[in-house]
């Protein structure tokens, strides 16, 4: 899973009916779409198990759960969150340990590996002042500890390309070849192409897809931008 170098993760922050309609329209775009992200909007309204069951009946994309934001509690509770996610037949779980500390990050990662759920760790968020209550190097510390724990997949902002480059370089210096998942394109100001040039592998796209008149065209448009940027970067 997440073996390819590029892909789009539609973020289904909508009603279940709308989510299923969108997925129906894009489910054959296997090359372009690397997985689906579901979050608190769907999970709180319908329950995680039902949402996953409905999506699995409609398509066979990997499903990522982003509780917006989980993995921030005491280690024992975070372990139980991972167990719930695994029991709900989810492939990958996004946690945001910024502010929760190293024991929480360790509990999250270990529980994911034990339950065969791919851990994805948020190292920096897209919105302004996300770090108002954090130390200056909090993101770098989260990245380094996660790498020591064997995490390979991270969330970092598409709308801050310089930060993406920094994280890729830190990982390279630690001999790790990480994959970066980036929200922050479209309404949050980032471009899929500039993000890929800075090191993003997978863009997480919400509104630009689910508010598009034609979500399918939007997926192919975004993927084309990513692919062109990737080819230019690697040539």
**Strand spans (E) along the chain:** 7-10, 36-39, 63-70, 92-95, 118-122, 153-155, 179-182, 202-205
The residues in 64-123 that bind ligand BMP, with binding defined as CB under 6 A, are: 66, 68, 122
State which residue, 147 or 155, has the beta carbon closest to ligand BMP. 155
Whole-angstrom CA distances from 41 to 13, 110, 111, 125, 201 are: 6, 27, 24, 19, 25
Nearer Cβ to ligand BMP, position 37 or 232?
A: 37
Pick the closer one to ligand BMP by CB: 161 or 186: 186
From CA 12, how far away is CA 210, in angstroms rounded? 7
Four-residue CA torsion sign, 115, 109, 147, 95: positive
Alpha helices in 116-150 (DSSP H): 138-149
The CB density around residue 204, as the number of other CB atoms within 10 Å, is: 23
Interface residue with ligand BMP, options 27, 207, 216, 227 (CB under 6 A): 207
Instruction: Give the Cα separation of 141 and 111 in Å (integer).
Output: 20
Helix, coil or strand: residue 51:
helix
Question: Contact letters (x/-) for ligand BMP, 118-157, by CB under 6 A?
Answer: ----x--xx----------------------------x-x
Q: Is 186 in the site for ligand BMP (CB under 6 A)?
A: yes
Residues 6-65 contacting ligand BMP, CB under 6 A: 11, 13, 39
Which region, judged by CB under 6 A, interacts with ligand BMP, from 21-29, 44-52, 73-81, 203-211?
A: 203-211
Sole window of 49-57, 160-168, 182-190, 222-230 interacting with ligand BMP (rule: CB under 6 A) = 182-190
By beta-carbon proximity to ligand BMP, the closer residue of 35 and 39 is: 39
Q: Which residues bind ligand BMP (CB under 6 A)?
A: 11, 13, 39, 66, 68, 122, 125-126, 155, 157, 183-184, 186-188, 204-208
């Amino acid at each position: 899973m997440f073996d390819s170098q590029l892909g789009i993760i539609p973020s289904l922050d909508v009603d279940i009916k709308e989510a299923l309609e969108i997925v129906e329209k894009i489910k054959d775009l296997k090359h372009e779409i690397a997985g689906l992200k579901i979050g608190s909007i769907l999970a709180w309204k319908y329950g995680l198990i039902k949402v996953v069951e409905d999506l699995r009946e409609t398509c066979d994309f990997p499903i990522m759960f982003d509780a917006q934001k989980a993995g921030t509690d005491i280690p024992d509770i975070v372990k139980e969150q991972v167990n719930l996610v695994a029991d709900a037949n989810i492939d990958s779980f996004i946690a945001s340990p910024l502010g929760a500390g190293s024991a929480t990050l360790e509990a999250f990662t270990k529980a994911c590996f034990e339950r065969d759920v791919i851990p994805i760790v948020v190292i920096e968020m897209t919105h302004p002042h996300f770090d108002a209550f954090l130390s200056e190097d909090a993101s770098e510390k989260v990245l380094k500890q996660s790498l020591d724990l064997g995490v390979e997949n991270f969330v970092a902002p598409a709308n801050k390309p310089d930060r993406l480059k920094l994280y890729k370089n830190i990982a390279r210096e630690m001999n790790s070849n990480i994959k970066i998942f980036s929200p922050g394109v479209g309404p949050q100001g980032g471009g899929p192409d500039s993000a890929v040039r800075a090191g993003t592998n997978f863009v997480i796209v919400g509104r630009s897809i689910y508010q598009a008149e034609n979500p399918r065209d939007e997926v192919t448009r975004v993927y084309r931008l990513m692919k062109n940027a990737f080819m230019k970067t690697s040539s």
